[in-house]
Amino acid sequence: KKMVKILVMDQMGKNNICKRKDGKQKENKKQSVETVEQSLAKISNAAASGNLDKALRKANSLLEKHPNNVEVITLRANLALEVDDRDLAEELMTRCIVIDPNVGHEQYCARAQLREGKDSLNDYAKAAELLKKEIAQKLTKEANGVGTHNQSNDLDGDLTVMLCQIYCSMGEIFTTDLSEESDALQKINQYVDLALQTCSTIADPYLLKATGLKLADKYDEAKAVLMESQNLWHPYKLEDENNPNELPTSSQIQLAKLLIEFSAHEEANAVLSNIDDDTDIVEVHYYLGWNRYLQGQDHHVMALEHFKEAKQAHKRCFCDDQQMMVHIDELLRELEDDEWQTDEDTGDEQGSDDEDDDVVEKEILQQCGELAQVGATTVDCEMDDS
């Protein structure tokens, strides 16, 4: 028989109840509305699983519904970076900052990485200002007995490291975009000092210090700074194997580049090899090859393999450093010609060896023939005598 469903509200007014003819009841809950936080989590999971198209569609839809939500805008900016749309990412980060100028140090840091020169420097300066306020507030709460000992450790381990890295980023600008400024070297030293005063247990300040010394043509001092801080960056000499403050990939590449310039080839290879073997970062393969190439003929076979991997990585993940790609092509031609020449020389040597063997064989046969002839003559003489 067809059952008749009658919808009535329960006493609490929250859930719908379905009364059926047989006297039984069935609960029919209203469909729950997804919160912004839940939507953000789903979008992040989709992006993390490699489904960028789905993540972008969901993020765009969420941004239309919540155009002034800083977290939504920030997530959409991060997705823009995933597809290398730097202009959109900068635009979105700027929107966050316009909505709330004190939004947080993360947004200023993110925009600083998308800008150049003094614009980038100003964003990092604002990020440092906000982060110092956050640290001061947490210290005040701790002094007033608010928070736990573990939270204090988190403060020492996280926020101070972030502030140190911001100072290093500010100093790095004077090694690149603002390197022509008259006080560039003084600025580098200034930010090195600030970084070391903030946190001296990570490698970043020492890398910046070595870079500044190299720019000042103090190569021996620069190399000494790196060698003396190996326990903070060398993958096989880390005091803490689970070091949470490991250099980011870009800094590891910069470190390896310096080590190559200082002819510290073993250390450079260790740093570069510590980066994921399957990486599509062309620079990693390039510097692995260049490091091998500079060590001489015995390392050229390995160098050739790394340069070939760099070309393959370029196909999968485009590298806009045209000067590097031109150099890779030049080195490939040189090493492939050397390899061909080596094979040809090996063939010639083999052919020469074969010819020598033929000569020796003929000489042996000739000697055997002469001996046989002598033997036959001796037999004939003996027969005549008899």
Determine, yes or no, domain membership for 9: no
Q: pLDDT band at residue 250, thresholds of 50, 70 and 90? A: confident
Q: What CA–CA distance (Å, rounded) separates 83 from 68?
A: 23
How many domains, the chain? 2
Task: Name the token pair of 103.
Answer: 């939004």
Determine, yes or no, domain membership for 288: no
Assess whether 96 and 62 both reside in one domain.
yes
Determine, yes or no, domain membership for 164: yes
Mean pLDDT, the chain, integer: 81
- What is the residue type of 172? E
Q: What CA–CA distance (Å, rounded) separates 329 from 335?
A: 10
pLDDT of residue 159: 92
Strand order in the sheet with 6-9: 6-9, 16-19, 25-28
Assess whether 88 and 130 both reside in one domain.
no
Q: For 5-49, what is each residue's pLDDT tens digit?
A: 333 333 333 333 334 444 444 444 444 568 999 999 999 999 999
CATH code of 55's domain? 1.25.40.10
Determine, yes or no, domain membership for 169: yes
Determine, yes or no, domain membership for 295: no
Q: pLDDT band at residue 220, thresholds of 50, 70 and 90? A: very high
Contacts of residue 311, Cβ cutoff 8 Å, sequence gap at least 6: 328, 332
Q: For 57-87, what is each residue's pLDDT tens digit?
A: 999 999 999 999 999 999 999 999 988 899 9
Task: Name the token pair of 221.
Answer: 């001092």
pLDDT of residue 6: 30
Assess whether 92 and 131 both reside in one domain.
no
Assess whether 94 and 160 both reside in one domain.
no
Q: pLDDT band at residue 107, thresholds of 50, 70 and 90? A: very high
Domain that holds residue 168: 120-140+153-199
For 362-372, give one letter per residue: b (16+ CB within 10 A) or e: eeeeeeeeeee
Q: Are strands 25-28 and 16-19 parallel, antiparallel or unpaired?
A: antiparallel
Where are the strands (E) in the chain, listed by range? Answer: 6-9, 16-19, 25-28
Q: Is 202 exposed, middle or buried (0-12, 13-18, 19+ CB in 10 A)?
A: buried
Determine, yes or no, domain membership for 180: yes
Determine, yes or no, domain membership for 342: no
Q: For 286-309, what is each residue's pLDDT tens digit?
A: 999 999 999 999 999 999 999 999
